[in-house]
Amino acid sequence: MRYQVLGPLLVCDDDGSPVRVPGRHARTVLAVLLFHAGTAVPVEKLTEALWHGTPPASYQANLQSYVSRLRRVLPAGAIEHTGGAYRLRVSAAELDLTAFRDTAADARRYAARGAHAAAADRFRAALAMWRDTPLAGLPVPVLAGEITALETDRLVLVEDRLDAELAAGGGPELLGELHALVADHPLRERLRGQLMRALARAGQPARALDVYATGRDRSVDALGVEPGPQLRRIQVEILRGETVPPQSGAFPVCQLPPDVADFTGRADRIDRCAAALTVPGRAVPLLVAAGAPGVGKTAFALHVAHRVRDRFPDGQLFVRLSDDAGAARDASDVLGELLPALGMPAQSVPDGLAARTDAYRARLSDRRVLVVLDDAHEAAQVRPLVPGTAGCAVLVTSRLRLAGLESARVGTLEPLGPDEATAMLATLAGAERVAAEPAAADRIARACGYLPLALRIAGARLAGRTDWTLAYLADRLARHRLDELAVAGLTVRATLTDSYAGLGATEQRALRLLAEYGPTDFAAWSAAALLGRDDADAVLDRLVDAHLLEPVGADAAGQPRYRMHDLLRDFGRERAAAEEEPRPDHGDALRRLADTAVRLAAAATTQIPDSPFDPWEPVPEPPATLADHLVRPAERCGTDWLTAEYHYLTSLVFRVAAVDLSLAVRLAARITGLLRRDGRAHELWALHERLRRAATAAGATVAALHSRFTMAQADTLRGRLSRALGEFEECALAARHHDAEVLLGCCRIAQAAFLPTVRGAHAHAEVLAREAVRIFTGRGDRRRTAAALRALGLALNENGRTAEAAEVIERAYRICTELDIDGLIDPMLMQHVLNAYVPIQLALRRPEPAREAAERGVSLAHRIGDYEGAAAMRSQLSLVEAALGNRATAVRLFTEVRDVTRAAGNEMAVALMTRNLAAAAIGAGRPREAADTLRGCLAEFRRLGSGRPLNETRYLLAEALRRSGDDAAAGAVLADADEPVGYGAERIRILLSLTRPADVRDPATATGG
């Protein structure tokens, strides 16, 4: 049996297979016994470990139960009980803690005899037994003091090992490790002295003295004391030149830090990178792994380097190109550190970058050495460090793209995929915990933006707090993400701060503004508007090069689009709150952005006519004050531009509404035309619901009513006419109260148009339409007057006053032909007038003129891209074809309109076309099938509150039942039906003509008269 406590508690059998120890309490008992292996542990100590001073009344029985569980999985006789205490019998070879202490003692004996190389080997063997913090993931407060002491012992052992390495002649190869240790433990003088000796041996006495000065300042500032005698003695030795000179740096040399033991994901990328570094050729492979802060560039490079280490038998160099403050190191200084490590005596290192570069390349000539350059700031840093001959290879990591680095293959590391991120979390926090809460694990991974650094921190926090559920951490991340992504000095915020500090002032401001006001993805024009400058493209390019913005391709208008990572957005908002100009500037930036959006949207929607049924009255917008290349996509691509920007523009409506409602209304009006034209009823309703709430909160009652009216229009597009009619009625009452005459007139038009459908032929529809005609005639608004006349014509036709209706529609038609829209008739108004003209011609039994009008209406709707209007006209055309006896054509049109309107979510239109197809099915000899369908249509019309279609469908159902031989049921259905009047009677006649067998035609239909 093997026991391991130098990391998560682990028990393995003699074959190395893990042995499951069930239950946290049993593992706690085992941990305490292992820390005191071979020693009797009193019951009181075990009780304290389990219940922290508040044991239950049954604690003795509980403790015995936990010990029994352990005895079932451990060797027989391993746990002894005597005199109120328990003892675990474990040999020294079975427990890593004992083996660690014995190996460390052995190493110190070698060191005492002067066998420094052997001592260093033994020290390394002892340290390799540590996998993590002792008992990681299993909090045992009673052992906290012992664990702290043990971690201190480990650090002392690291110092002992470094002394042995230095005494054995080491120096330059230890610099990377020593720099990191001193950064982590700045007040440990022994480590600082070891770094000073290593630097001196590497021929860098000046840097060694700088390390002393930095340590002295920290000691005085933090503790108020001067450095100790040992550190001062090392300083004096360096000043006198008494340090031991470096030994000749014989190959092979390895400076690689340890590989990341729990590295997860990127398998394909690692394979490609390893292959590219080792491909034979005459040139030096030069690869750059670029990426955003926290994406795991260094861990990736180290993993690849260890993967291919055997292909570079002469060694592996690892150089950090940033200093402790994150600033770029000078390439000449880096070479001054490398050359002694490669065997050049310090006193022989030449001065000047060119001479040192030549010497470095000469040392690596005809050798196989891998050079890893971490965190490069610019191409100029890298060029002198590229070997001159084939056989070597260079792997660079950088937050920048280093586009100017000749012959380099630059690849961008992206965040992990969702599955890889979850796997990494499972590796760090425990696979069982992640498997138990998969949804919470996904939330954590998303909150971390799938960045390895953030995931590592989250995993470490979970490993250290086994009492936390994953859902608990996910909730904390949702509230304060950057605050929570910090552990033991490792923070996402610090990494982002380093990248931010490397930007210029303009780029910093751009990041702050884009984070606070920018959409999730955006084009350059929005950045130009926020910044108030035309060179936004260059600013965005620099942010992309720094991997603080991600290019996400071109949109439908050909504009490059960009996205900012969620964690960067959080950080940018923090910086904006901490250092941005006074808050009024933020409002100004938002107004600039919204005003520019309105102007560009106006340029993009010139081909979408304003609706004559809409109370919104968009004013002409001046051109956007941006560079031509930023304006051109909106002007050239029109609605493609608007579609590409839709999600951004809608989010901007809601954001700007809080500071300038009039701007929000102007922008919403531009979006509304697109949504209405394309039949996107749900999005139209949602947009205006939020705008209505904003207007109500701002006390802008009329603006709120306008949005409420548009929401009712959206309901009509979804076929929910009864609900829409109620909304129009309430809007009309409020509009009259607030003297909003245009809104009142538009409400009356809508009421008059939909009242007959909902409640059947209704005289009140005529009254409402005449009120609208009076309002708009009095205002001199000819376009809306024509719309009101259309509504009046529809009402008169439904009420059986067809000749009068024809005269009214003729008046509306004349207005359409007189209105000049860029030298053409008003296509939107004309197609709606034609939509009313068709049923009047059918009521007069003149199907040929009706067909001509319907076809023209379809053409006009297509010309302006009005897909909802085109479907309405094709619906009218389908009835015309039925009236002409063209059953197959009518059925084809019914089917096409049903499919189009189903995709658009128009429930009423779908039900109507389904009903009409059922009528044709009766004529095709399928009356029972048709009856079932028609019953479903009846239920749908009842749900939608549509009286006229409900009444018409009863006639069709009665015919289906009669054809099925059920005359009694047919009579019962007809008993509930109202007698149709006006155009309703003709519409039923046309539909009933479809129920006749195909070879039997209605005489009126056959003659067309």
Cβ 543 vs Cβ 507: under 8 Å: yes
Q: If we measure between CA atoms, which residue out of 169, 260, 218, 190 comes closest to residue 178?
A: 190
- The Cα–Cα gap between 767 and 823 comes to 35
Alpha carbon distance 613, 812 (integer Å):
14
CA-CA distance, 194 to 358, in Å (whole number)?
Answer: 30
Give yes or no for a contact between 858 and 849, defined as CB atoms under 8 angstroms apart: no
Q: Classify residue 52 by its DSSP letter.
A: T
pLDDT at 1000: 53
d(CA 188, CA 196): 13
Q: Residue holding tokens 């007189």? A: 818
Burial class (CB in 10 A: 0-12, 13-18, 19+), 664: buried
What's the DSSP call for residue 291?
A: E
CA gyration radius, the chain = 40
Instruction: Write the CA distances from 552 to 497, 561, 761, integer angstroms.
Output: 24, 6, 55
Q: What is the predicted pLDDT for the residue at 990?
A: 95
* φ, ψ for residue 509, nearest 5 deg: -65, -40
Q: Are strands 41-42 and 85-88 parallel, antiparallel or unpaired?
A: antiparallel
- In angstroms, the CA 847 to CA 1007 distance is 10
- Cβ contact 681:714 at 8 Å: yes
> Could you tell me the two tokens for 25?
């309490």
Which pLDDT value is given to residue 52? 87
What is the 3 state secondary structure string of 485-539? CEECCEEHHHHHHHHHHCCCHHHHHHHHHHHHHCCCEEEHHHHHHHHCCCCHHHH
pLDDT at 748: 95
Cα separation, 343 vs 349, whole angstroms: 10
DSSP-assigned letters across all residues of 90-156: --TTTBHHHHHHHHHHHHHHHHHTT-HHHHHHHHHHHHTT--SSTTTT---GGGHHHHHHHHHHHHH
Six-digit token string for 727: 């909304």
Q: How many CB atoms lie within 10 A of CB 553?
A: 9
C-alpha 692/C-alpha 668 separation (Å) is 11
Mean pLDDT by 10 residues, the chain (1009 residues): 92 88 91 92 91 88 90 90 90 91 88 77 92 91 91 92 84 85 91 90 85 89 86 82 49 84 87 92 91 90 93 91 86 90 78 89 87 93 93 93 86 91 92 94 93 91 92 93 86 88 90 78 89 87 88 88 88 84 65 89 82 79 78 88 89 88 91 85 92 93 94 90 92 94 94 85 86 95 94 92 94 86 70 93 94 93 84 94 94 95 91 95 94 96 90 94 94 91 91 83 45
Q: Decide: 597 and 499 in contact? Cβ < 8 Å.
A: no
Q: For tokens 């809601």, what's the residue?
A: 654
> Is cis: bond before 252, omega within 30 of 0?
yes
Residues 6+ apart with CB under 8 A from 579: 512
What is the phi/psi pair of residue 503, to 5°?
A: -90, 160
CB atoms within 10 A of CB 140: 19
- Judge contact between 21 and 113, C-beta under 8 A: no
Tokens linked to 355? 């001479």
If DSSP codes are grouped into helix, strand and coil, which group holds residue 72? Answer: helix
pLDDT at 943: 92
Distance CA 301, CA 266 (A): 12
The sign of the CA dihedral 58, 61, 64, 65 is negative
